[in-house]
Structure 1
Amino acid sequence: MGKAGEALKQVLKTYGISQNKLAVALGIERGSVYRWVHEIRDPTAETVREIVTALGKLEPSAAGKFIELYLGDLVEEEEEGS
């Protein structure tokens, strides 16, 4: 499974955000967050957007860190190409 789960797990731990708190912010069941964090299932691209939005409401710096961890290589390549 993928990089999204790894990034999400690290961000939740670093910023002290529980899986349940994120699930409530997303309006979904905690089991979905659990499956992403434990890399049982990857979130869809649309869900990744929703995760960033929810993290931004809970802890703005957590949203930025998630983006950095999840898309870091891509973002760096874009900046170098600019």
Structure 2
Amino acid sequence: MGKAGTVLKQVLDTYRISQNKLAVAMGIGRSSINRWVNENRDPSGDAILQIRKGLNKINSAAAEEFIRLYLDESEEDELVDQE
């Protein structure tokens, strides 16, 4: 699975935001958040934007961190360099 779930889990843990709180802020079921965090399913591009908006309602720093980590390509660059 993709990077979004891992990054989302890290941000939720760091900022102590529950999956339920984010789900309420996004207006979706907690099961969707749970699937993303446990990497059972990747969020769509539209969902990434909704995650950012939901996090922003709760904590703007968490929203910024989510996007920063999600867009950070340094890990991917390291993998390419090793090949």
For the superposition of Structure 1 and Structure 2, which TM-score range results when normalised by the shorter chain?
0.7 to 0.9
User: Mind listing any 5+ residue stretches in structure 1 that lack a counterpart?
Assistant: 75-82
- For residues 52 and 41 of structure 2, the distance between their equivalents in structure 1, rounded to whole angstroms, comes to 18
Which structure 2 residues correspond to residues 3-82 of structure 1 after superposition, within 5 A?
3-73=3-73
- For residues 53 and 70 of structure 1, the distance between their equivalents in structure 2, rounded to whole angstroms, comes to 14
2:67 corresponds to which letter in structure 1? I
1:18 corresponds to which letter in structure 2? S
TM-score, with normalisation over the residues of structure 2?
Answer: 0.86
User: Mind listing any 5+ residue stretches in structure 2 that lack a counterpart?
Assistant: 75-83
Deviation string, structure 1 residues 8-57 (Cα, Å, up to 9, x no partner): 00000000000000000111110000000000000000010010011011
Between the two proteins, what is the percent identity of the paired residues? 57
Could you tell me how far 1:68 is from its partner in structure 2?
Answer: 1.0
- For residues 30 and 50 of structure 1, the distance between their equivalents in structure 2, rounded to whole angstroms, comes to 14
> What value does the CA root-mean-square deviation take over the aligned residues?
1.1
